[in-house]
Structure 1
Amino acid sequence: MNFEFKPTENIVAFKEYLSFLTKTLPGVRIYKKTIYPIVILILFYFSTIVLSKTYDIFHYIIVITIIVILFYYLLFLLIFKIVKNKKNKVLKNNAIYCDLESTFFFTIDDDYLIRENEFSTIKIHLSNIKDIILLNNGLVLSIGSGHNSIFIPTTVLPVSLEEFISLIKEKNPSLMVFEEFARLKKLKKKIYISFVLMIILTFVTSFFIGKYNFKRYDLILTSDLTKQNSTNFTSGDNLHYIYENFTLGFSLALPGKWEGKFGIEEKSDRVNIYYLANGKQSHDTTLLFSVRGLDVFFNTIDFYIIKNEGLYLFVGPTKIGLKRGSKELLEYEELYNDIKNIKLYRNTYNQG
């Protein structure tokens, strides 16, 4: 049995063989096993951090991300197809493997496979062929320990691929045949599935990190306050909550209709009253106003005076982070409009 082939006349098949050799190099395998996981973890980490900061518009981000991924995937396939078609027309010489202009001559005779070209001759008994690796356009015969190999394009075989493999199996019943193209196809499928799972996991993790990662305050809630009737509160709501601060020496009568909508934070020099959306702390927890003494400095860029209550000032934030038109903003504004009617009383036991 005699046949031959020239690499430059079997460009697609030979390129596939060179790619196979490159991917099976020990250094490449180590690189993939060490670098790939690190890169994936880094991408997962930074993607999670970025997305978690925008969880409140997550549904928009998901749609945009899917569109962008599909767009770039289709663009990549188009470019890859164009480049591949161009590359398949030219095969550059590579001295690492062989002189690509030479012709490989094959002879199978007396149970020996002989491969010859002008640079070398390989002669091997068929029983010493360890295994056969099937590529899309050719087959690789592994010799001995597998560090050496012989490549044959399937198009140059004088018999069918099945007959050729059977010929070697007759002399080596333990011959192993591996379908590399099928393995790569499964590997590619696993990569796609892993990529999709990583994206899903990134979105899920980012959403929950974004949702529950917010600043929490040590607040006094309405359940911790005393609710009383009052005729001094001028908003028309006779019920109010009494808050007393013994350190700063004042009390507040807060509207009863604010029930479950605010929390009080005590500081050494001031008291902060926060709006609580849905009655609990969240990203929408926003400062309504602060009560502080006249001698306590505050930044006029971030705060402004709502009203003066003798020795104390009611100070409000110049900026709030609630969405325009949201129900939270409407409720915040409703509470904010009541601040001017809130009564402050100096505690007589703290007056000099």
Structure 2
Amino acid sequence: MKKILVISLVVLSMSAFLTGCQKAKTDSINTNQNAAQSTTNNTIVQKEPNSTPQKQTNNTDKNNDSKDETKTTSQDIQYKNDKLGFSLTFPSDWKGKYRIQENDMSIFVYFSPKQKTDNSGSGLLFAIINKASKDFNENFFDTISDKKYFEAKGAIYFIGGPTDIGFNENNPEFSTYRKLKSEVPNVIKTIK
């Protein structure tokens, strides 16, 4: 009962947050429909509104500024949001398993199960939100990794995940959700 109450509060909070963004133009992107396959080297490119697809040409991407190296392959999915000023790299095995909801101040990345669920707000993997957003409340989110904030285009962005499980434990795809959720810190390390 307590889990249901917490999940309900999180869903209501997320709904209020998303509804409150007056200028929000939310484009729900299902990677099943919008991922394109390159014919030259089978590189998967994620196409997003207000964003530019990027191809990863190297087999590994090394960040010399950090001890942690996040390896990316040419098959990984590149997401770039020109409006917000950052990019992410999703593992290639995430193809068709997530969707991105964007607005003028944030992006929300959700698990996209094969079977549609009754609760459209469930399955939140993580969010990246401009701290200047009038509806931003850090208490609605949990820390994902040691990287909690970053700067892009002069704005400070917060990185957070759900404070609870966020997906029905009885759903047959729960193990896939948990796998993606466990890989979120590695996705966060690819922010540029």
The TM-score range, normalised by the shorter chain, is 0.5 to 0.7
Which amino acid in structure 2 is aligned with residue 304 of structure 1? D
**Could you tell me how far 1:221 is from its partner in structure 2?**
2.6
Higher RCO (C-alpha under 8 Å, 6+ residues apart):
2
| 1:339 counterpart residue number | 184
Contact 1:273/1:287 (<8 A) preserved: yes
| 2:148 counterpart residue number | 308
Q: What pairs up with 1:59-78 in 2 under 5 angstroms?
A: none
**Could you tell me how far 1:322 is from its partner in structure 2?**
2.7
Partner of 2:164, secondary structure, is coil
Contact 1:235/1:338 (<8 A) preserved: no
Which amino acid in structure 2 is aligned with residue 303 of structure 1? F
User: Would the alpha carbon gap of residues 236 and 257 (structure 1) be closer, same or farther in structure 2, given more than 3 Å must change?
Assistant: farther
Aligned structure 1 segments of 4 or more residues deviating by more than 6 angstroms = none
Partner of 1:298, secondary structure, is coil
Deviations 1:13-45 (A, max 9, x none): xxxxxxxxxxxxxxxxxxxxxxxxxxxxxxxxx
Which amino acid in structure 1 is aligned with residue 92 of structure 2? G
| 1:268 counterpart residue number | 104
Partner of 2:173, secondary structure, is helix
**Could you tell me how far 1:256 is from its partner in structure 2?**
0.9
Contact 1:276/1:282 (<8 A) preserved: no
Q: TM-score, normalised by structure 2?
A: 0.56
Contact 1:262/1:276 (<8 A) preserved: yes
Larger radius of gyration: 1
| 1:282 counterpart residue number | 117
**Could you tell me how far 1:324 is from its partner in structure 2?**
2.6
Q: Say whether residues 1:224 and 2:53 are aligned partners.
A: no
| 1:259 counterpart residue number | 95
What's the % identity of the aligned pairs?
28
CA RMSD of aligned residues (A): 2.7
**Could you tell me how far 1:298 is from its partner in structure 2?**
3.0
**Could you tell me how far 1:320 is from its partner in structure 2?**
4.1
User: Would the alpha carbon gap of residues 283 and 237 (structure 1) be closer, same or farther in structure 2, given more than 3 Å must change?
Assistant: farther
Contact 1:304/1:315 (<8 A) preserved: yes
Contact 1:221/1:260 (<8 A) preserved: yes
Contact 1:264/1:272 (<8 A) preserved: yes
Gap runs ≥5 in structure 1: 1-216, 346-352
Q: Say whether residues 1:323 and 2:163 are aligned partners.
A: no
Structure with more helix by fraction: 1
**Could you tell me how far 1:309 is from its partner in structure 2?**
5.0
User: Would the alpha carbon gap of residues 330 and 237 (structure 1) be closer, same or farther in structure 2, given more than 3 Å must change?
Assistant: farther
Q: TM-score, normalised by structure 1?
A: 0.32
Deviations 1:127-153 (A, max 9, x none): xxxxxxxxxxxxxxxxxxxxxxxxxxx
Contact 2:61/2:70 (<8 A) preserved: no
Q: How many residues align?
A: 128
